[in-house]
Amino acid sequence: MKFTRVSADRLRTFSIAVFQAAGAPADHAERATDVLIWASLRGVDTHGIRNLKRYYLDASGVGRRDGKIVMDAELTLEGESSTTARFDAHSGLALSLSVQAMQCAIEKARDAGVGAVTVRNSTHFGPAGYYAWMAVEHEMLGFASCGYLFPHGQPKAVLPFGGLLPLLSTNPIAMACPADKMPPFVLDMSTSVVPVNRIELNEEEGRAVPADWAFDANGQPTTQPADVHSVVPLGGATAFGGHKGFGMALASWILTSLLSGAWSTNADRDRVLGATSDPKHGHSQEGIGHFFAAIRLDRFGDPQAFRHGLDAMIQAMNDSPPADGFERVAVPGQGAHATAEERLREGIPVNAATMADLQSLAVEYGVPF
């Protein structure tokens, strides 16, 4: 597929203008764009600027049955303590509202040592790693997760271990912390073997997917992205090890959707996703749920000692012998950091499908590109 290099600044200016033209206040447009550009710079193209149109401006079921995001919605505080807060996002632009929620967790951690925040009634928040990464500059460890449960099943959702009905979102988890001379540690992973966005990206670029990623509607492994009906949990759908990915997905869901109150007995059916909005055992999920946390390193010792220790671990990994086909053993965050440096210099590669999306947005919203 053809790629066009576009500068991060150019994409940022365009994205902010489009979000504002679509009804987002300026501060929401800027925060949301920062999240998308961060992902694109770091090579997380599945969660970057390619999603501007399909996930945030087109109806795509991202937290309401009609798929529409309320661009000017604000977080409503439903309860808090010195270390916790609980918010309702009102189907708002999660890319922006999640930044605010993580900022709340950081503020609470600054005062109390730790901060934990939940959000319900939300939408697709993009790369979980961004919100965890926000804590790094504050000498903190950051954590972020998001989750959804489709009790009646949903095409392209994730199978439970040993099951036939796809019931779960990819329920990602992310953790980040600062190093000293090395790039920050940034873990951002789905609890499925691959995020659904990756399958979609392969489809638009005309590439098959590995046979162990997904099943078709008949429960058979498929290499054709267009035929994907269910995605495999991390470790496998039935093979030994898959129970771990499934367990992590449920743990993420408990933090993000049960703890936040999204999974409830009185959910607004307009905000219930899946094949049907009917409750199951009296419960259904109202919008996507999120969880954010921050921990001050100095409450557990010398932050500089922590940084040096993390550097030593990373260097030990890098020094270890690589397997055939690998240049070195790298830790989460290293490759993305190097990619960001290269893309800041050379521009972000935008494939033909995404370029067409951006050009159509330029026409639709009257924003030059």
CATH number of the domain bearing residue 202: 3.30.1370.60
Summary mean pLDDT of the chain: 95
Indicate the pLDDT class of residue 162, thresholds 50, 70 and 90.
very high
Predicted confidence at residue 60, as pLDDT, reads: 63
Indicate the pLDDT class of residue 2, thresholds 50, 70 and 90.
confident
Predicted confidence at residue 61, as pLDDT, reads: 52
For residue 101, what are the CA distances in angstroms to 15, 96, 120, 328? 22, 9, 11, 36
Encoded tokens for 294: 């921050």
Predicted confidence at residue 273, as pLDDT, reads: 87
Encoded tokens for 363: 């026409």
How far apart are the C-alpha atoms of 37 and 32, rounded to whole Å? Answer: 9
What does the radius of gyration of the chain's CA atoms come to, in whole angstroms?
Answer: 20
DSSP per-residue codes, 225-293: GGG--EEPBTT-SSSTTHHHHHHHHHHHHIIIIITTT-EESS--GGG--SS----BTTBEE-SEEEEEE
What is the mean predicted confidence (pLDDT) over 271-283? 90
How far apart are the C-alpha atoms of 253 and 142, rounded to whole Å? Answer: 18
Indicate the pLDDT class of residue 166, thresholds 50, 70 and 90.
very high
Strand partners, 118: 86, 291
- Domain span at residue 73 reads 3-365
How many of the other CB atoms lie within 10 Å of CB of 290? 30
What is the mean predicted confidence (pLDDT) over 168-195? 97
Predicted confidence at residue 210, as pLDDT, reads: 94
Residues 6 or more apart from 103 whose CB is under 8 A from it?
134
How many of the other CB atoms lie within 10 Å of CB of 286? 27
DSSP-derived secondary structure letter, 136: G
Predicted confidence at residue 80, as pLDDT, reads: 98
pLDDT in tens, 293-319: 999 999 999 999 999 999 999 999 999
Return the percentage of the chain with pLDDT > 70, whole number: 98
Predicted confidence at residue 52, as pLDDT, reads: 96
Query: Which amino acid appears at position 161 of this protein?
Result: F
Q: How many domains does the chain have?
A: 1
State pTM to two decimals: 0.96
Of 252, 207, 258, 208, which is closest to residue 234 (Cα–Cα)? 252
Question: Within 13 Å of residue 232, how many CA atoms lie on the same side as its CB?
Answer: 24
